[in-house]
């Protein structure tokens, strides 16, 4: 490709920060000791992990013992559902969760766990009232994502937490799209579990966190050598933990600047669209800055994606499967959008590395492609 690549898919994953990558590399080379070893070489690794845990717990405002390192969002989500629910328990979740909740929920439903799936409203938000009316005697867990990955809409996590607390029900939120993009003070919300993944905030892939409130007990998913207080066995990924901590520190120091900058870019892009003759709609209300789901009427999302890709520009359409094909974004259909409109909707997510010129190039490309396809 002659032109430089442009990446508008940070909701899928982010490029790792250079500073983070370099730290990961250094730790990999210098701190190879097993953190469980008694010798000093092992202890150095151990201390890197514990220093990271301390820093992360300070940023999130929780206890160090409440931070469990995992391989990422999917594992954290799996730990909660599998570790908490037993036959006869009732789970309340939503119909537009990430597959690591949704497909798991559908599986455990066949194994004797009762599940209520709440649909988002037309703005892409889960209403606490709907959760309240789904609560039953045997409701053990509520699991609602913080930010929907397809729409970028933010759910009223505080209200849902209060509700769960009132009824003495455990509350989990898959927060992978939120953590590292905006400030979160865990002590502000009544929550028992939060899932996080470093690769969504310019950290390494394959590393994440499960926040588990002190005193809440669950069955571990992986048993073994007693790492992570016996809650998640396996030799720790020292370098990635250090990298994740660095990435969260960078995010924490720059939330406001980055948010302001991305908001400006987003407004610029929306302005360009509004002043063009492109028939479109921005979907969802109360969105996280930087994640936009847009319906381009009459233009298949997949076609737009492929055409942009051929010009070196990456956006997202639907939920990609392992074979690389994609189906209409289910989350949009759950909000009541027609299948036809959902097929014409793409996700454009703006990261901190994007400049105004990049937005201009994205807009011009979209305009040219849509004009050509519609002429046909």
Partner 1 sequence: MKDGVLGAMSGGVDSSVTLLKIIEMGYEAVGVTMKLWEYKDFGGNNLQENNCCAVSSINKAKLVCERMGVPHYTIDFTESFKENVVDNFVDEYIAGRTPNPCVRCNSFIKWDTFIDQAEILGAKYIATGHYARIENDNENYFIKEGVDSKKDQSYVLWGIPKETLPKTILPLGDLTKEQVRQIARDNNLETADEPESMEICFIADNNYKRFIKEYAPDKVLDIKGGKTLNEDGEQLGENDGYINYTIGQRKGIGLSNPNPLYVKKINPNNNTIVVGEKESLFKSICKVKHLNWLIDKPKFPHKTLCQIRYNGNKSEGIITKEGDEFIIKFKEPQLAITPGQSIVFYSNDVLSGGGIIKLCD
Fill in the per-residue mask, 181 to 220: x = in contact with partner 1 (CB under 8 A), - = not in contact.
Answer: ----------------------------------------
Does 28 sit near partner 1 (CB under 8 A)?
Answer: no
User: Encoding tokens for residue 180?
Assistant: 């590292």
Least distance from partner 1 to the Cβ atom of residue 325, Å: 4
CB of 292 to partner 1, least distance (A): 23
Q: How far is CA 271 from CA 174, 322, 351, 359, 363, in A?
A: 32, 35, 18, 11, 10
User: Measured from the CB atom, is 127 or 279 closer to partner 1?
Assistant: 279
345 lies in the site for partner 1, by CB under 8 A: no
User: Most distant CA pair in the chain: distance in Å?
Assistant: 71
Q: How far apart (Å, rounded) are the C-alpha atoms in residues 342 and 294?
A: 9
* Interface residue with partner 1, options 309, 336, 364, 371 (CB under 8 A): 309
3-class secondary-structure state, position 338: coil
Nearer to partner 1, 157 or 344 (CB): 344
Reference 59, options 239, 328, 223, 253; nearest CA is 253
Annotated catalytic residues are: 321
| Residue 365 found at the interface with partner 1 (CB under 8 A) | no
d(CA 81, CA 104): 8
For residues 73 and 147, the answer to whether their CB atoms sit within 8 Å is no
By beta-carbon proximity to partner 1, the closer residue of 156 and 312 is 312
DSSP 39-76: SHHHHHHHHHHHHHHHHHHHHHTS-GGGEEEES-HHHH
In the bound complex, what is the minimum distance in angstroms from residue 365's beta carbon to partner 1?
A: 12
**Residue 178: strand, helix, or coil:** coil
Distance CA 343, CA 263 (A): 26
Footprint of partner 1 on 313-332 (CB under 8 A): 322-327
Q: Rule CB under 8 A: is residue 252 a binding residue for partner 1?
A: no
Kindly tell me which of 1 and 29 has the beta carbon lying closer to partner 1.
Answer: 1
The burial class, CB within 10 Å (0-12 / 13-18 / 19+), for 257 is exposed
Cβ 159 to partner 1, closest distance in Å?
38
In the complex, least distance from residue 115 CB atom to partner 1, rounded to whole angstroms: 23
If binding is defined by CB under 8 A, does position 4 make contact with partner 1?
Answer: no
Indicate which single residue of 306, 356, 360, 371 sits in contact with partner 1 (rule: CB under 8 A): 306
Helix (H, G, I), strand (E, B) or coil at 13: coil
Residue 183 vs residues 60, 70, 245, 246: alpha-carbon distances, Å: 8, 21, 15, 16
Q: How far is the CB of 104 from partner 1 (least distance, A)?
A: 17
Asked if 353 interacts with partner 1 (CB under 8 A), we say: no
Q: Which of 273, 293, 261 minimizes the C-alpha distance to 362?
A: 273
Instruction: Compare residues 128 and 301 and give the one whose CB is closer to partner 1.
Output: 301
How is residue 163 written in tokens?
């509700």
Alpha-carbon dihedral 247, 250, 254, 255, rounded to 10 degrees: 30
> Which of these ranges, 22-30, 40-48, 307-315, 357-365, lies near partner 1 under the rule CB under 8 A?
307-315
Nearer to partner 1, 163 or 342 (CB): 342
Give the interface segment with partner 1, choosing from 175-183, 259-267, 306-314, 356-364 (CB under 8 A). 306-314
Among 276, 303, 319, 330, binds partner 1 (CB under 8 A): 303
**Total residues in contact with partner 1, by rule CB under 8 A:** 16
Query: Among the candidate windows 94-102, 215-223, 241-249, 298-306, which touches partner 1 by CB under 8 A?
Result: 298-306
Q: Among 123, 162, 286, 300, which residue interacts with partner 1 (rule: CB under 8 A)?
A: 300
Q: How far is the CB of 194 from partner 1 (least distance, A)?
A: 32
Backbone angles phi, psi at 96, to 5 degrees: -120, 30
**Do 291 and 177 meet the contact criterion of CB atoms below 8 Å apart?**
yes
Rule CB under 8 A: which residues touch partner 1?
300, 302-303, 306-307, 309-310, 322-327, 372-373, 376
């Amino acid at each position: 490709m002659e032109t430089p690549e442009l990446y508008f898919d940070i909701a899928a994953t982010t490029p790792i920060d250079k500073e983070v990558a370099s730290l990961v590399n250094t730790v990999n080379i210098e701190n190879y000791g097993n953190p469980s070893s008694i010798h000093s070489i092992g202890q150095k690794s151990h201390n890197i992990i514990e220093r990271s845990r301390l820093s992360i717990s300070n940023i999130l405002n929780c206890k160090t013992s409440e931070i469990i390192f995992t391989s990422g969002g999917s594992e954290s989500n799996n730990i909660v559902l599998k570790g908490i629910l037993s036959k006869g328990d009732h789970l309340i979740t939503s119909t537009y969760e990430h597959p690591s909740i949704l497909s798991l929920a559908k599986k455990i439903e066949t194994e004797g766990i009762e599940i209520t799936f709440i649909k988002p409203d037309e703005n892409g938000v889960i209403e606490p009232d709907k959760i309240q009316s789904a609560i039953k005697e045997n409701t053990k867990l509520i699991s609602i994502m913080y930010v929907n990955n397809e729409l970028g809409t933010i759910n009223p996590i505080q209200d849902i937490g209060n509700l769960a607390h009132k009824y003495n029900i455990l509350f989990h939120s898959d927060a992978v799209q939120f953590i590292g993009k905006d400030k979160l003070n865990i002590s502000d919300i009544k929550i028992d579990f939060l899932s996080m993944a470093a690769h969504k905030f310019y950290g390494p892939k394959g590393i994440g966190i499960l926040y588990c409130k002190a005193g809440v007990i669950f069955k571990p998913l992986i048993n073994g050598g007693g790492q992570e207080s016996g809650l998640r066995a396996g030799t720790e990924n020292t370098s990635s933990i250090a990298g994740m901590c660095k990435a969260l520190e960078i995010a924490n120091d720059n939330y406001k600047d980055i948010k302001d900058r991305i908001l400006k870019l987003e407004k610029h892009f929306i302005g360009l669209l509004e002043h063009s003759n492109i028939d479109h709609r921005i979907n969802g209300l109360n969105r996280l800055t930087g994640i936009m789901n847009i319906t381009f009427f009459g233009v298949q999302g997949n076609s737009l994606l492929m055409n942009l890709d051929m010009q070196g520009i990456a956006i997202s359409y639907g939920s990609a499967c392992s074979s690389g094909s994609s189906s209409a974004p289910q989350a949009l259909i759950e909000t009541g959008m027609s299948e036809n409109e959902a097929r014409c909707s793409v996700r454009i997510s703006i990261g901190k590395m994007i400049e105004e010129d990049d937005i201009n190039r994205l807009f011009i490309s979209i305009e040219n492609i849509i004009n050509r396809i519609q002429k046909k």
